[in-house]
Chains A and B, each alone.
Chain A
């Protein structure tokens, strides 16, 4: 493909740890091939040279947490033909969304001696709360192979293959003995979106849901089951309020548990 015809790709960062952008640089064997197929027009971590938009493919990492970023994402959306959010911060608000259940002014005071210097929003919200998003790639961090899959399918004009079934399927594929069944450790796997390859159970611990809710989670049933097995309500509340805690079924399930604790 001649250089002029390559689609322009841009990467933007909001409130995040940078891990999902790094996943792109971690493509290692495929990175130089990818660079041959797309024009990396804007990627501040990787290159100094930038090209102006509009861009064919825009990747956004990070959540919206400041008034400045609320405006910035709107400008980015205008310049993007296809906007994909990458990672738990962009798709779910991230671990920093824990402020959403607290008073952020108190948070500021805990961390900064002069709170007046800090401009921040009361909530950390996903990109989709502010602009329409064309594709959401879950993960904390994203799986670099899935990032490549989505970009490749875009270039080829086909639907990306990113299954939304539960992590349990990946556990079975990996041959891991079920951790909650065999060891009684609470595991969010049955509720969680696949993509990581079921790492945690293979490392002898329960899933903590960093890929967000799967397509049809039954959180009520799972929480009831764990509580019947003797797991403390507060432990389940913490488990649900993690890296994707502000999203969908995880949020409603944790709110329900919290309310149950208040009325008991």
Chain B
């Protein structure tokens, strides 16, 4: 995996990252004990979503953008419908808003359970996979699979199916669930809430490497709720903006070693951090009561700047998602209409929602017939690549005395805490280059 070159330097290479979604590798060059170069190679083939969305009808956009990611299709659907509703001047009523949050809860549960247990926990427990972990700790992996199933079952009832749900449309849902269909999920969701609390206890006892970079955390924020679909974008730097200011505040750049673009804070050119840790740090007091209690009791001091503790943040969000799902279902009454009427007109709109992996921004321009003229999509993982490379630069000096296999392992483990979703991040949007 690594090799030495003639002048006593080291080249660390991980050809294929494992236990991440999508295709990427790592490369680092060290000379005379100094880190000279760090690259996250993204070679996932580009699919050009923003290009082929042009000419499609706005009601096709939720179905098409879902296919950007098999683990977080709901996130794409949510950012798409909110951006398009902004373009069309559509307001959705509270009942539909709540159903959308319920759908997102299903995805948070499925995605976080997958990452915590199947992708990330093996690193902390010394296993190469959950498959090997299951041989020694079958009950842990069974709990993981049952947690995932609870999320998927919720997605199926509300969305039609867990991957690429079919019920989401601009204006609401093609069909709202019946109350009894949701009530049937309560048993598993109650079990899931307890299992999620056990998850916080389990992961907060892991041994975490020491790394506390000076992050700028960015997430969607809302005056009353833990952020999901609305509305403003906050930063730990103090900046708080409307979605339509996002592209001025945060820029994308193309780099040669990546089919995904990199994002930086426009004012400083520096990287920033999106995801569960950012959300939790910026919105802790908006958690539901049992999640807030789990956050207080878990032994982590918030705000937390250690990326390895992202797994704890994810586990707390898992508790929160179960609590919110149960609360929404408890109070659910089938709405008179599952969707609002739309008067088709041309316009432009944007929105940011919080995918499980972090802030996901969409902007669309549609013509008078309702066909897409322009689409821009900024996924969370792409926003994190520059920050991941910066983190590796900070991590490497402390692990250089290890074997090259161990150095590569340490780097890969760090990248994995970001829960990167590489298929999502590979499709990108054109940068407006401003030259002096």
Mark A residues whose CB is within 8 Å of B: 13-23, 25-26, 28-29, 31-32, 35, 40, 44-49, 65-66, 68-69, 94-96, 98-99, 102, 104, 106-114, 117-118, 120, 124, 140-141, 196, 199-200, 202-205, 208, 210, 235, 238, 242-243
CB distance from B153 to the nearest CB of A (A): 10
CB distance A95 to B167 under 8 Å?
Answer: no
Q: Which of A47, A68, A112 contacts B131 (CB 8 A)?
A: A47
B162 at interface (Cβ–Cβ under 8 A)?
A: yes
CB distance A111 to B70 under 8 Å?
Answer: no
Contacts known (A96-B52, A111-B51, A118-B46); A141 close to B163, Cβ less than 8 A: yes
Residues of B within 8 A of A96 (CB): 47-49, 52
CB distance B21 to A65 under 8 Å?
Answer: no
Counted as pairs of residues, one from A and one from B, with CB atoms less than 8 Å apart, the total is 180
CB distance B254 to A117 under 8 Å?
Answer: yes
Residues of A within 8 A of B261 (CB): 112
Q: With A and B bound together, what is the CA distance between A118 and B429 in angstroms?
A: 13
Q: With A and B bound together, what is the CA distance between A252 and B130 in angstroms?
A: 45
CB distance B68 to A47 under 8 Å?
Answer: no
CB distance A199 to B128 under 8 Å?
Answer: no
Interface centre among A108, A110, A124 (most CB of B within 10 A): A110
User: Can you list, as one digit per residue, whether each of B9-31 has a CB less than 8 Å from chain A (1) or not (0)?
Assistant: 00000001111111100000000
- Binding stretch for chain A, among B140-148, B268-276, B359-367, B385-393: B140-148
Q: With A and B bound together, what is the CA distance between A29 and B143 in angstroms?
A: 11
Q: With A and B bound together, what is the CA distance between A199 and B164 in angstroms?
A: 11
Q: Which of B18, B48, B71 contacts A22 (CB 8 A)?
A: B71
B186 at interface (Cβ–Cβ under 8 A)?
A: no
Q: With A and B bound together, what is the CA distance between A91 and B89 in angstroms?
A: 39
User: Can you list, as one digit per residue, whether each of B42-74 has a CB less than 8 Å from chain A (1) or not (0)?
Assistant: 011111111110101100100110011111010
Contacts known (A29-B145, A48-B18, A205-B174); A117 close to B132, Cβ less than 8 A: no
CB distance from A237 to the nearest CB of B (A): 10
Residues of B within 8 A of A68 (CB): 43
Interface centre among B23, B47, B148 (most CB of A within 10 A): B47
B266 at interface (Cβ–Cβ under 8 A)?
A: no
Residues of A within 8 A of B163 (CB): 19, 22-23, 26, 141
Contacts A102-B51, A202-B175, A204-B175 known; list 7 others, CB within 8 Å. Answer: A16-B423, A17-B69, A17-B423, A32-B134, A65-B46, A124-B47, A202-B160
User: Can you list, as one digit per residue, whether each of B118-138 has a CB less than 8 Å from chain A (1) or not (0)?
Assistant: 100010000011111010001
CB distance B45 to A120 under 8 Å?
Answer: yes
CB distance B45 to A15 under 8 Å?
Answer: yes
Interface centre among B63, B132, B148, B428 (most CB of A within 10 A): B63
Residues of B within 8 A of A94 (CB): 47, 67
CB distance from B219 to the nearest CB of A (A): 24
Q: With A and B bound together, what is the CA distance between A107 and B51 in angstroms?
A: 5
Residues of B within 8 A of A44 (CB): 16-19
B149 at interface (Cβ–Cβ under 8 A)?
A: yes
B202 at interface (Cβ–Cβ under 8 A)?
A: no
CB distance A45 to B166 under 8 Å?
Answer: no
- Closest partner residue, chain A, to B427 (CB atom): A111
Residues of B within 8 A of A47 (CB): 18-19, 128-132
CB distance A17 to B67 under 8 Å?
Answer: yes
30 examples of A-B residue contacts, CB within 8 angstroms: A14-B45, A15-B45, A16-B70, A17-B69, A18-B22, A18-B70, A21-B70, A22-B163, A25-B148, A31-B145, A32-B141, A44-B18, A44-B19, A45-B19, A46-B130, A47-B129, A47-B130, A47-B131, A48-B122, A49-B132, A65-B46, A66-B45, A99-B48, A99-B51, A102-B51, A107-B51, A124-B47, A140-B164, A199-B160, A238-B56
Residues of A within 8 A of B169 (CB): 205
CB distance B259 to A118 under 8 Å?
Answer: yes
Q: With A and B bound together, what is the CA distance between A203 and B69 in angstroms?
A: 22
CB distance A69 to B45 under 8 Å?
Answer: yes
- Closest partner residue, chain A, to B377 (CB atom): A111
- Closest partner residue, chain B, to A235 (CB atom): B57
Q: Which of A31, A95, A114, A199 contacts B166 (CB 8 A)?
A: A199
